[in-house]
Structure 1
């Protein structure tokens, strides 16, 4: 386990290329102030949550408690992290039409016995 200092963690920019490939500031989800806070403090908060860095002062304790959900976010950094977590853990959007009949595997099997929609006209 590598020993990190607070200053070394704050110097490293935080990026999430999986969820925000063009950066936080270009996503439209965050204000300029929030994206700057995430970029500057994201590595520190991630290290606090993973246990790689132990809190050294009250600010670190407050960041960790807010990130864990033990207290309400009060600072810009805490609010930006809460907003970031809400954005990356939101449910995926499905089609509003549901599962279509063309996506059904039984469709197109070709047997007339399975189809209930066939119209049979007898004279």
Structure 2
């Protein structure tokens, strides 16, 4: 089982609902953050939803953070919280300020 940042690599992660053009194209994530989400986002999602059990201390700490909804301590935890914050509410900006005819 290959590990990426202490997490088991499952498969590539894509969120076509919230980021249809990819994580790197939105401007919300840096290139490094987009790569991390793509590489281990599926595992993070599975741990958060309790679909799988943590296999090491890094995954246990992440799962605990999700359960307690506490502030993230590691780079991965903070990135996941940023991702969750962006997927819960995406503001819609209407650029058309004119009235309907």
TM-score range, shorter chain: 0.7 to 0.9
**Runs of 4+ that moved beyond 6 A:** none
User: What is the TM-score when the length of structure 2 is the normalising length?
Assistant: 0.74
Q: Equivalents in 2 of 1:16, 1:24: separation in Å?
A: 8
CA distance 1:73–1:55, shift in 2 (3 Å): same
Cα deviations by residue, 1:53-111 (Å, 9 ceiling, x for unpaired): 1112110111112334533212221111100110111264476xxxx8x7xxxxxxxxx
The 8 Å contact of residues 10 and 43 in structure 2, kept in 1 or not, is answered as no
Equivalent residues in 2 for 1:1-123 (5 A)?
10-90=9-89, 92-93=91-92
Instruction: Give the corresponding residue for 1:108.
Output: none
RMSD (Å), alpha carbons: 2.4
Cα deviations by residue, 1:6-58 (Å, 9 ceiling, x for unpaired): 76x51411100011011001110001121111111211111112222111211
CA distance 1:62–1:19, shift in 2 (3 Å): same
Q: Equivalents in 2 of 1:27, 1:36: separation in Å?
A: 13
The 8 Å contact of residues 12 and 38 in structure 2, kept in 1 or not, is answered as yes
Stretches of structure 1 lacking an aligned partner (at least 5 in a row) = 103-123
Structure having the higher helix fraction is 2
